[in-house]
Chain A
Amino acid sequence: MSTEVAPTAAPAGPRPRVRATPARTAIAALALVVLLSLVRAISGADDLTSGGAISAALLLAVPIAMAGLGGLWSERAGVANIGLEGMMILGTWGAGWAGYQWGPWAGIVAAVVFGAVGGLLHAIATVVFNVDHIVSGVAINILALGATQFLSNAYFAGRDGGSTKQSPTVDPLGTVSVPFVGDPLASLEAHHWLLVSDVAGILRGLLTNLSWITVLAVLLFPLTFFVLWRTPFGLRLRACGESPTAAESLGVNVYRMKMIAVVASGAFAGLGGASLALAASSFYQEGQTGGRGYIGLAAMIFGNWRPGGLAGGAALFGFADALQLRGGAAIHALLLLVAVLVVLVGAWQLRRRRVVQGGVALACGVAVLVIYLVTTTVPSQLTGSVPYVTTLLVLALASQRLRMPATDGMPYRRGEGG
């Protein structure tokens, strides 16, 4: 559904592609930690790397990551899925409905099933009836909203603690921690030593008090990578997104693969809904998803339709979300981080002799830096927009290497391939 336009500045001659090897990823992650640590020390906003903030970021990244993973499955099979938001809404409702009656684990199962039903609807519309993928997605978002409001009226209103907009409270799911690390890390963190305390804070956030849904969600990333990139099934599924006619000629049942992918996509989105209803709070509430389905889609595109990149995008949104919830000082410090990052990107572009992009990036970076220096706080109303502005900046400034599956969003009919 989108017109593809190649970026203007064509690279002058072939240049070596920088591939994301595990070593390079580790170095990049390390550099980011050092940068965070420096920014924390300069700005004095200790919340930037505190265990609490990182833990909150993880909790908020999970729904976005699950929606994104849903999008990844569906779009890798060539079905654009803008209905993730609706499938997520179905998930939150299912989690609340089954959760308060039979406990949180039943809630998770119901959320996955409800999300998958939304996915099935999208699959039937797009694969069987060849409906435009965007149309079907928009319709599913409307339908899911209407259906959950309708069902809340019937099942939650009048129940103890429930209303037409909210389910009764669900028992907590419980958390899990890596043993023996919480206290030492907390004491290290309290010293506020450069780098050491920051690493301790980040580790404490990542290793202690994890919701079971978070653990499940994190495990789904390597699983998705393995299934989609290391099995024959995954190869066939991705082939359906790149060239369904070629897949068809090799005997792949394209319809079936697409159906499986889209139903799985809904299940992931439903699980994301469960994490909102059961981990981030303890009930279903109308409007709980708050557009996270769309943000998940953005995180997936940001991550170039790859699980690793998607995880990075989701982490970015989760982090900015968490800092915003925890107050202004850390968000103000985030401006410094954004400024430094954008300046670095600009310098890198200049080194590659891309003068225009580099210049624009440097100018943006300096502008953000000036804003950081002349202000002491970010107005509370504007803090919420930081992740969105960051995404726009990153997408606009990073070199354009994003490539979506070749036939993503296009209709396919068996036997009509040219």
Chain B
Amino acid sequence: MARVDVRRVLVTIAAPALALVLALAIASLALRASGHSPVDTARAMVTYARRGSTQVLILNTATYYYLAAVAVAIGFRMNLFNIGVDGQYRLAALLSAAVGGAVHLPRPLHLLLIVVVAVTVGGMWAAIAGLLKAYRGVSEVISTIMLNAISTAVIAYLLTPGRLAVSTQGSNNIGTRLIPVSGQVPGLDLIPGANRQVFGFIIVSALVGIGYAVLLNRTRFGFDLRATGRSQSAAVASGVNVKRMVVISMALSGACAGLVGLPQLLGASYSYALDFPTGIGFTGIAIALLGRNHPVGIALGALLWSFLDQSSQILDLEGVPKEIVTIMQGSTVLSVVVAYELVRRYSQVLEQKRVGLALGQTTGVTA
């Protein structure tokens, strides 16, 4: 039996390895086509990533990518596709920034207030889609796309002087009132020798990841959620209230999405302004797919994605068009799923062969 186990390990490693090879091959082709050396480009990217300050940047972007991907993954495990993470986190960040900038409280209370506001706003915005799905049968794909567009409009409306925004002196950027020091999360000196600090919120990200794993694998709710995702009819037969599950898991996904804007808000910008990062929700979808909804897989995916993002900075200096990074990211997503499918098919064939062989031996027929 030991031989079979070795095989299983090989098969498990084979998929990501194959994906890596495929993605690298596509990226090399694109680089060759534009007349650049893939080897030199890769060397430049790796050298850049070995600098301490780059590593801090990679960890910082990965912090919010991770939260966004977990938010998407909660929906995915339930067969719900929350495209609305983007709108949810932007609305949550705006409102929590406005609340955080308006009050002065002791630090723990202040931070708690901001987080509660963000989580509530994100959760409630997503719950609209959940309610529409459960009680009116509206596809969550459509409703969250609509809610994204609506939240863009609402943010544009609220983020004007006289409502939630104040104009910044010396620039035409406008944003919410600055959050006072008591509401800011101090950075951490995780990387020695770097001139930047890692977002303190990375701890919250890690906690959310642990919470996600525990919730899914160690609670009744998680069991119901996975069961509903796998087979709705089986879940209904075992007494799961699917409508309630739809609303709760959508709200949960949105609550997690509400946290996405906070690392940037409480660790760097301290105000929601016109230039607040957008589109993280869509990146979250890709990373959740890359990490196959697994808490550790998502973490690896988030790190890989933000490494590619950051390395585009150095590519520009090297004269390589930085759009190559977007091509790499897209082809990575595709290669990962193609590789898993190929390996699954191959291991299925192996399994069938093994079963055939075993059956042949027990019945005395030589295979």
Q: How far is the CA of A4 from the CA of B138 in the complex (A)?
A: 9
Report the bound CA distance from A260 to B115 in whole Å: 50
Determine the chain A residues whose CB is within 8 A of the CB of B147 once the complex forms: 388, 392
Closest to A145 in B: B326
**B145 within 8 A of partner (CB):** yes
Closest to B30 in A: A150
Interface assignment of A138: CB less than 8 Å from any CB of chain B: yes
Q: Is the CB of B341 within 8 A of A131?
A: yes
Tell me if B228 and A3 are in contact (CB < 8 A).
Answer: yes
Bound complex: CA A148 to CA B321 (Å): 12
**A146 adjacent to B327 (CB under 8 Å):** yes
Evaluate contact between A392 and B153: CB separation under 8 angstroms.
Answer: no
Q: Interface code A388-403, partner B: CB below 8 Å = 1, 0 otherwise?
A: 1101100110001010
Does chain A have a CB within 8 A of B104? Answer: no
- B-chain residues with CB within 8 Å of residue A3 when the two chains form the complex: 78-80, 133, 228-229, 232, 242, 246
A149 at the interface (CB under 8 A from B): yes
B79 to A381, Cβ gap below 8 A? no
- Within the complex, the shortest CB–CB distance from A181 to chain B, in Å, comes to 36
Closest to B129 in A: A392
B276 at the interface (CB under 8 A from A): no
User: How distant is A79 from chain B, measured CB to nearest CB, in Å?
Assistant: 15
Contact of B142 with A139 in the complex, beta carbons under 8 Å: no
Q: B149 and A388: CB pair below 8 A?
A: yes
Per-position 1/0 for B317-348, Cβ under 8 A of A: 00001011111011101100110011000000
State whether A291 and B323 are in contact (beta carbons under 8 Å apart), knowing that A7-B137, A130-B341, A395-B132 are contacts in the complex. Answer: no
Question: Does the CB pair B137–A402 fall under 8 Å?
Answer: yes
- Asked if B143 lies at the interface with its beta carbon under 8 angstroms from chain A, I say yes
Chain A CB within 8 A of B81 CB:
yes
Alpha-carbon distance A127/B67, docked complex (angstroms): 32
Q: Which of B53-61, B154-162, B265-273 has 4 or more CB atoms under 8 Å from chain A?
A: B154-162
CB-nearest residue of chain A to B249: A3
Q: Which of B83, B133, B321 is within 8 Å of A150, CB to CB?
A: B321
Q: Mark A373-397, 1 if CB is under 8 A from B, else 0.
A: 0000001011111001101100110
Contacts A2-B141, A3-B78, A388-B150 given; indicate if A138 touches B286 (C-beta within 8 A).
yes
- One of A5, A135, A142 near B137 (C-beta < 8 A): A5
Minimum distance in angstroms from A306 CB to a CB of chain B: 16
Residue B146 CB within 8 A of the other chain:
yes
B12 to chain A, nearest CB (A): 19
Chain B contacts for A130, CB-based, 8 A: 341
| Structural contact, B145 and A142, CB atoms closer than 8 A | no
Interface residues of B in 98-147 (CB under 8 A from A): 132-143, 145-147
Interface centre among A4, A138, A291, A295 (most CB of B within 10 A): A138
A140 at the interface (CB under 8 A from B): yes
Query: Given B157, B333, B337, which contacts A142 in the complex, CB threshold below 8 Å?
Result: B333
Asked if residues A140 and B242 are in contact (CB atoms below 8 Å), the reply is no
Question: Which residues in A have some Cβ–Cβ distance to B below 8 Å?
Answer: 1-8, 82, 125, 129-132, 134-136, 138-147, 149-150, 153-154, 291, 294-295, 297-298, 301-302, 379, 381-385, 388-389, 391-392, 395-396, 400, 402
A-B contact sample (5 more), CB < 8 A, given A143-B334, A301-B139, A381-B160: A2-B79, A3-B242, A139-B286, A150-B323, A382-B153
20 A-B pairs within 8 Å (CB atoms) are namely: A2-B140, A3-B79, A3-B228, A3-B242, A5-B133, A82-B141, A125-B337, A136-B337, A139-B331, A146-B325, A149-B323, A150-B34, A379-B157, A381-B153, A388-B147, A388-B149, A391-B146, A392-B150, A395-B142, A400-B138
